[in-house]
Copies of this chain bind each other. A is one copy, B any other.
Amino acid sequence: MSVPSDIEIAQAAKLRPITDVAKEIGLGPDDLDLYGKYKAKVSLELAERPAKGKLVLVTAINPTAAGEGKTTTSVGLAQAFRKLGKNAVLCIREPSLGPVFGVKGGAAGGGYSQVLPMDDINLHFTGDFHAISSAHALLAAMLDNHLQQGNALNIDPRRITWPRTIDMNDRALRKVVIGLGGPAEGVVREERFVIIPASEVMAILALATSFDDLEQRLGNIIVGSTYGADRKPIYARDLNAQGAMAMLLKDAIRPNLVQTLEGGPAFVHAGPFGNIAHGCNSILATRAGLAVGDIVVTEAGFGSDLGAEKFFDIKCRFGGLKPDAAVLVATIRALKMNGGAKKTELAKEDLDALKKGVVNLEHHIANVRQFGMELVVALNRFHTDTDAEIAMVTEAAKKAGARMALSEVFAKGGEGGIAVANEVLDILAKGGSKFAPIYDAKLPIKQKIDTIVKKVYGGDGAEYSAKAERAIAYLESIGLGETPVCMAKTQYSLSDDATKLGRPTGFKVTVNDVYPVAGAGFIVAQCGEIMTMPGLPKVPAAEKMRVLKDGSITGLF
């Protein structure tokens, strides 16, 4: 499988003018604002039109170092539908700029299943993340200015929870002290920076359904609490920040239209983290897709325990979305790693390891099915996979109640996704799924967490630190007991222990903190340490990047 590098494929591609791509889904000049020749923002009104499309979620088994290719499969599947003559639209997240300079380089699919223009999408794109950064920074500046100007709201500086943000892997900003220098230079306090996908403004933008809804959610952000035993929450609206923040997001809120490598329409919009946030592209982009496409392919972060659960219980709930089918991406390499095989030995047939690891797939199938979803396992094929291995996975998938098809979209583009696409079309032809969320948001917080741990993770329930117990009582006391719960835990295991691969049983998940993300409309239950500001490696990928005389880029792989 000799495939050129992602950027080589991307730069060799002949892009269609985005106006042509738009025309194909019925969008004219009035529906678009161009950002160069190959990117556009669509009108917000598009998201208010009635949905006509079927919604297909792409999710995955637990990720491993071997890689699964969820985004690549999503792009390839959208391309495959188009090859079959369907009016398919792709809806995925925007990548963050920071990680581009670290280890991994670009992130917009791979091989012959990418979204283009790959370099722009990975760099500033249409400026959405910068706008989110500005809106976030404005609230931070207004908050510290309030302290500086006399603190009329009686905010306890030790209890400020609103961080600062930057879209860069900048380890040295994880923990800082600000406001030094004397009375004219602010109030001294501890502060932390998070990378922009971890910003609550990102989650809000991804969940907002209109300008008004955006402003209201921004106003609901809790930035900290007052001095005193009652710890009254302080909202962004108490600082009158929500209007100006919404103003800064007036263009960022509009979905971005780009194209797949094969020239099909793709909405790439918003990119919240998949652990401390809900890990999905924006509701507005998905709605826009459903308004103009017959089939909308979308994805959610990490495995089905994190991404799909949040897609179903948070995004679909808030957005009134009814997904019609699901695709579960797996690789034999990753299943073997789940069964204990070493990363260096994945090229060898290993039916023992596969047998031990395939239980992870079985669990994810059961998980997706319990939401009422019909699904296809897309086995992302590598040339090292043997027939015996493929047969074993196929049998396991069928036994667990899923269809299965091979996917080769990385090497073959849409052509390589036709088998999966046909299975999805068959599900849709037979009436699709009977989706329902897994819990009632009105249940007490602990009961919701318990439901997720037992049903989605296959565990025996949750244990709570003293801090988490206090936090839950506090959140219920300030009226946040009836929101969905966003679980923040490791993506590598169904449990909260990254080393427990496969399908662990008999475990409890430890919730060490629970905190409000009240603007977005959920609370986060944190299980373990979650990194919200990455660092750079010893030799950052940035060192090889350059812009050439003609303005083209090299080194962004």
Q: Which residues of A contact B (CB under 8 A)?
A: 33-37, 41, 44, 97, 101, 123-124, 127, 130-131, 133-134, 137-138, 140-142, 144-145, 147-150, 164, 166-181, 184-187, 191, 210-212, 215, 239-241, 243-244, 246-251, 535-536, 538, 540, 542-549, 551, 553, 555-556
The interface residues of chain B lying within 8 Å CB-to-CB of A171 are 141, 144-145, 148, 184-186
The interface residues of chain B lying within 8 Å CB-to-CB of A150 are 538
Known contacts: A137-B170, A556-B247. The answer to whether A540 contacts B142 by CB under 8 A is: yes
Tell me, rounded to whole Å, the shortest Cβ–Cβ distance linking A519 to chain B. 16
Decide if B179 touches A172 in the complex (CB within 8 Å): yes
Decide if B540 touches A145 in the complex (CB within 8 Å): yes
Interface centre among A97, A101, A544, A548 (most CB of B within 10 A): A101
The interface residues of chain B lying within 8 Å CB-to-CB of A141 are 101, 168-172, 536
> Can you list the 8 inter-chain pairs with the closest CB atoms, starting with the nearest?
A172-B186, A130-B130, A243-B546, A175-B181, A244-B542, A240-B543, A144-B172, A244-B545
Give the complex CA separation of A300 and B195 in angstroms: 36
Decide if A247 touches B175 in the complex (CB within 8 Å): no
Decide if A142 touches B542 in the complex (CB within 8 Å): yes
User: Besides the contacts A124-B130, A247-B556, A250-B551, what 6 more A-B pairs have beta carbons closer than 8 Å?
Assistant: A35-B36, A134-B168, A166-B166, A240-B543, A243-B544, A244-B542
Give the complex CA separation of A187 and B535 in angstroms: 13
The interface residues of chain B lying within 8 Å CB-to-CB of A131 are 124
The interface residues of chain B lying within 8 Å CB-to-CB of A249 are 547
The interface residues of chain B lying within 8 Å CB-to-CB of A167 are 134, 137
Which residue in B178, B251, B535 is a CB contact (below 8 Å) of A145?
B535
Decide if B170 touches A175 in the complex (CB within 8 Å): no
12 A/B residue pairs, CB under 8 Å, sorted by A:
A33-B36, A34-B34, A124-B134, A138-B168, A145-B536, A145-B540, A148-B171, A173-B178, A175-B185, A176-B176, A244-B545, A247-B546
Tell me, rounded to whole Å, the shortest Cβ–Cβ distance linking A340 to chain B. 29
The interface residues of chain B lying within 8 Å CB-to-CB of A210 are 549
Decide if A124 touches B127 in the complex (CB within 8 Å): yes
The interface residues of chain B lying within 8 Å CB-to-CB of A169 are 141
Give the complex CA separation of A445 and B535 in angstroms: 41
The interface residues of chain B lying within 8 Å CB-to-CB of A164 are 173
Tell me, rounded to whole Å, the shortest Cβ–Cβ distance linking A17 to chain B. 10
Decide if A178 touches B186 in the complex (CB within 8 Å): no
Decide if B176 touches A177 in the complex (CB within 8 Å): yes
Interface centre among A123, A134, A147, A548 (most CB of B within 10 A): A134
Decide if B250 touches A553 in the complex (CB within 8 Å): yes
Tell me, rounded to whole Å, the shortest Cβ–Cβ distance linking A507 to chain B. 27
Give the complex CA separation of A506 and B145 in angstroms: 41
Decide if A542 touches B241 in the complex (CB within 8 Å): yes
Tell me, rounded to whole Å, the shortest Cβ–Cβ distance linking A195 to chain B. 11
The interface residues of chain B lying within 8 Å CB-to-CB of A542 are 138, 142, 240-241, 243-244
Known contacts: A123-B248, A244-B542. The answer to whether A172 contacts B178 by CB under 8 A is: yes
Give the complex CA separation of A272 and B421 in angstroms: 53
Give the complex CA separation of A511 and B378 in angstroms: 69
Which residue in B147, B149, B215, B535 is a CB contact (below 8 Å) of A547?
B215
Decide if A138 touches B101 in the complex (CB within 8 Å): yes
The interface residues of chain B lying within 8 Å CB-to-CB of A140 are 168, 170
Which residue in B97, B130, B175, B251 is a CB contact (below 8 Å) of A180?
B175
Q: Nearest chain-B residue to A240 (Cβ)?
A: B543
The interface residues of chain B lying within 8 Å CB-to-CB of A535 are 145, 148, 186
Decide if B123 touches A137 in the complex (CB within 8 Å): no
Tell me, rounded to whole Å, the shortest Cβ–Cβ distance linking A504 to chain B. 28
Known contacts: A171-B148, A553-B247. The answer to whether A134 contacts B97 by CB under 8 A is: yes
The interface residues of chain B lying within 8 Å CB-to-CB of A148 are 171-172, 535
Q: Nearest chain-B residue to A29 (Cβ)?
A: B37
The interface residues of chain B lying within 8 Å CB-to-CB of A170 are 137, 140-141, 144
Decide if A246 touches B180 in the complex (CB within 8 Å): no
Decide if A551 touches B175 in the complex (CB within 8 Å): no
Tell me, rounded to whole Å, the shortest Cβ–Cβ distance linking A246 to chain B. 5
Decide if B101 touches A244 in the complex (CB within 8 Å): yes
Known contacts: A169-B141, A171-B144, A176-B177. The answer to whether A123 contacts B546 by CB under 8 A is: no
Give the complex CA separation of A247 and B123 in angstroms: 9
Tell me, rounded to whole Å, the shortest Cβ–Cβ distance linking A242 to chain B. 9
Decide if B149 touches A243 in the complex (CB within 8 Å): no
Which residue in B137, B185, B543 is a CB contact (below 8 Å) of A174?
B185
Q: Nearest chain-B residue to A187 (Cβ)?
A: B172
